[in-house]
Amino acid sequence: MSDDSLQAVYRILDASVNRAGEGLRTLEEFSRFVLNDSDTTAQLKSIRHDLTAAIALLDRQSLLLARDTPGDVGTTISVESERSRGDLGGVIAAAAARTQQSLRVIEEYSKTIQPAAGERIEQVRYRCYELCAALELRSSRNRRHDKLDQAQLYVLIDAGLSEQSFVQSVQALCNAGVDILQLRDRQCDDRTLYLRSRVGSQIARENDTLFIVNDRADLASAADADGVHVGQDELPANAARQIVGPNRLIGVSTHDVQQVHDAITAGADYIGCGPVFAGATKQFDDYVGTDFLRAVHDEPKSRPLPAFAIGGIDADNVDQVRATGFHRIAVTGAIRDAADPTATVAQLKHLLSADHVSS
């Protein structure tokens, strides 16, 4: 190998070592301060130390002498996605990719000057693959649960007359500040539901909004939605969990207190409670009314979980819902039939807010 080529190899290795170390440290801080996971933090620290030990087989002085940041043409090249991160999941995904790519580069180029270093880096890289995948999955779950915990306004939508109208509706509702969207359309074929779920999930994710698919755990998983919502006559929550996995949300409709306890036992992440009032979307033989909401609110539970009041709720009766202790609602007609859906979203969120005083 010529001197120029050797210098270039050391320059590549130096840059990649720095990138790998930065990526690992980013992952380690997430594990330590966000997840509070001492085991994963210790594993990441061990990987960092093993990386350092492998790099020690290379000539340190040659690495430092090869460094030429002012002459690096890559420092002036960037893409828009590098300038922002939508959430912690984006931070972790970027750090994981940076770490794994850098380790592969180090492994390949170190083989040309010190094969033993390449062999040790290969072992580090394989350990990183498993750990990075686990962290990405946990960061997605963390994002979904954080958003769910903060959610107050949940809106059910149909598939629309066309993909264009559906996209426009989803984007408008996200822009308006809806916390969760659920696609519910019993008239649609599976392919259309899948395509709508996929594009809806993408738009919602870009706008920090959760996207849920009604009933169909298979479509929720295939479309990479944030979760699935099931009723009392659909797949049980624990069975749905086998399809959507541990990191997606599962919601369950409940109509009495025992069903609330059953949903919790089955592993639901949130519940819908109703129907509270008569509405234009679905007709029922019985309406549970606000007494049920009050009973759910006051009932001791084995674990707390978000509960959304649903059924005929609008700006005229939301104060009755709040009076029961509920501060989360799921609506359909209140938004769908509104002359100005954006204004109605803002009105409902204000009425649900802690600083709103009921008359």
**Confidence tier at 359 by pLDDT (50, 70, 90):** very low
Say if 243 falls within a structural domain: yes
Say if 206 falls within a structural domain: yes
Question: Are residue 48 and residue 196 in the same domain, yes or no?
Answer: no
Q: Which of 288, 277, 292, 294 is nearest to 331 (CA)?
A: 277
What does the pLDDT average to over 109-138?
A: 95
**Residues of the chain above pLDDT 90, percent:** 81
> Using one digit for the tens of pLDDT, what is the confidence trace for 29-61?
999 998 889 999 999 999 999 999 999 999 999
Question: Are residue 141 and residue 71 in the same domain, yes or no?
Answer: yes
> Using one digit for the tens of pLDDT, what is the confidence trace for 325-352?
999 999 999 999 999 999 999 999 999 9
Helices and strands (DSSP H and E) totals, the chain? 14, 8
Contact, 118 vs 39, CB < 8 A? Answer: no
354 or 93, greater pLDDT: 93
Question: Are residue 72 and residue 169 in the same domain, yes or no?
Answer: no
What does the pLDDT average to over 249-274?
A: 98
> Using one digit for the tens of pLDDT, what is the confidence trace for 170-200?
999 999 999 999 999 999 999 999 999 999 9
Question: Are residue 183 and residue 238 in the same domain, yes or no?
Answer: yes
> Using one digit for the tens of pLDDT, what is the confidence trace for 294-304?
999 999 999 99
**Residues of the chain above pLDDT 70, percent:** 93
Note down the domain range covering 213.
151-352
Question: Are residue 129 and residue 231 in the same domain, yes or no?
Answer: no
pLDDT value, residue 77? 65
Element (H, E) at 71: none
pLDDT value, residue 331? 98
What DSSP string runs through 24-56? HHHHHHIIIIIS--HHHHHHHHHHHHHHHHHHT
The alpha-carbon radius of gyration of the chain (Å, integer) is 26
Say if 338 falls within a structural domain: yes
Say if 357 falls within a structural domain: no
> Using one digit for the tens of pLDDT, what is the confidence trace for 224-238?
999 999 999 999 999
What does the pLDDT average to over 139-144?
A: 85
The last residue of one of the domains, among 112, 145, 178, is 145
Say if 359 falls within a structural domain: no
CA dist., res. 147 & res. 149, Å (int)? 5
Tokens of 233: 């006559």
Q: Which of 99, 111, 118, 84 is nearest to 48 (CA)?
A: 99
The residue assigned the tokens 């509270």 is: 276
Question: Are residue 90 and residue 202 in the same domain, yes or no?
Answer: no
Question: Are residue 79 and residue 130 in the same domain, yes or no?
Answer: yes
The last residue of one of the domains, among 99, 130, 145, is 145
Most distant CA pair in the chain: distance in Å?
85
> Using one digit for the tens of pLDDT, what is the confidence trace for 66-96?
888 777 767 666 665 555 676 788 899 999 9
Mean pLDDT score across all residues of the chain = 93
| pTM of the predicted protein model | 0.72
Q: To the nearest 5 percent, what fractions of the chain are helix, strand and coil?
A: 60, 10, 30
Question: Are residue 196 and residue 308 in the same domain, yes or no?
Answer: yes
Q: Is the pLDDT of residue 282 over 70?
A: no
89 or 257, greater pLDDT: 257
CA dist., res. 217 & res. 243, Å (int)? 6
Q: How many CB atoms sit inside 10 A of residue 177's CB?
A: 15
Q: Which of 246, 206, 244, 208 is nearest to 224 (CA)?
A: 244
Question: Are residue 207 and residue 347 in the same domain, yes or no?
Answer: yes
Say if 358 falls within a structural domain: no
Question: Are residue 139 and residue 155 in the same domain, yes or no?
Answer: no
Q: How many CB atoms sit inside 10 A of residue 338's CB?
A: 17
Question: Considering its fold, how many domains does the chain have in total?
Answer: 2
The last residue of one of the domains, among 145, 179, 196, is 145
Looking at residue 196, which CATH number applies to its domain? 3.20.20.70
Question: Are residue 301 and residue 201 in the same domain, yes or no?
Answer: yes
